[in-house]
Amino acid sequence: MANQTFNTGIDYWALEAATSNAVKVKSSRESRSKQSTNSPNCYDDPAVVDSWGETAQPSSDYDVVAALTHTLASPKITLGSLVAAAQSNISIGGNAVPLVKGSLRINTQVGSAPTITLSGQAVHTGAAALRTYVPPAFTLSPRHRAQDMFSLITSIKKGSGTLTVADDKTDYGMQSINADLPIEISLTQPKGVTLAYDIHGGMVTVDFTMNWYAAGEPTIAIASSVTLRTSAANTNNTSTVNTTVTTPVAKENPEGGYTQYTWQVSFPFIGYENS
């Protein structure tokens, strides 16, 4: 029988239930921290040290084990939403505290199961949800492949022929597609006690890596916009935001290997007020 602490990753965000078990937690971390300072004596040796402002930024890692579909009308993941103190699994100063869902990362690549990492911030007792960020609609398969979850690639061409993801004759060799959706959470901590917070600064970046087996350069077309939800009350309230290739398509030609292309696409991640 395994030790009681073996393989005990914590689903801080109840994401298994939210996705009808399409994801399963595999590991977690509390990421606790405090600020500290010290003052030296006349020999410049620290004579006193103090610390304050304990907090935690818990995160959970998940494997995608079944098809997962997230829509704007029925989101599986909403950043900015709260996990109540009673369910948070985090205590500070002996008191259970609520958590704010803060950042999402999705990794997909050939040869490995797709993974999701969801992280956030411990806040103060009685904190209310202030602002919500709903990721664009996406679909993830449990297959061990690179997946264009936000449908950002509209076409990849070699000459006049459009290439596809998994066709033996016209496969474009996508190796990995990884998305980062970070949200900034700032705390108000007079004398080290968290009494308020706010949430802001959403941005999405998606990184692509593609192998290339043919002569000539690929022509890669990227969707010009994505759709975001902009209202808590009405799921039909949406807005389009422009996408930008923030890292140009660049190639690498390693010795003993094939040409590989990488690029990054970014777009604003705009939330909405909860009240």
Let me know: does 206 contact 264? Beta carbons within 8 Å: yes
Instruction: Convert the pLDDT of each residue in 143-185 to its tens digit.
Output: 999 999 999 998 887 766 666 555 555 566 889 999 999 999 9
Instruction: Convert the pLDDT of each residue in 197-230 to its tens digit.
Output: 999 999 999 999 998 877 778 888 899 999 999 9
**Region at 36 (left for phi over 0; alpha for psi -120 to 50; beta for the rest):** beta
Closest alpha carbon to 82 in 53, 137, 120, 136: 120
> What is the rounded distance in angstroms from the CA atom of residue 36 to the CA atom of residue 53?
9
Quick one: what percent of the chain has pLDDT higher than 90? 79
Handedness of CA 118, 87, 121, 37 (dihedral sign): negative
Q: For position 170, what pLDDT does the model report?
A: 56
Residues paired with residue 232 on neighbouring β-strands, in sequence order: none
Give this prediction's pTM: 0.92
Rounded mean pLDDT of 62-73? Answer: 97
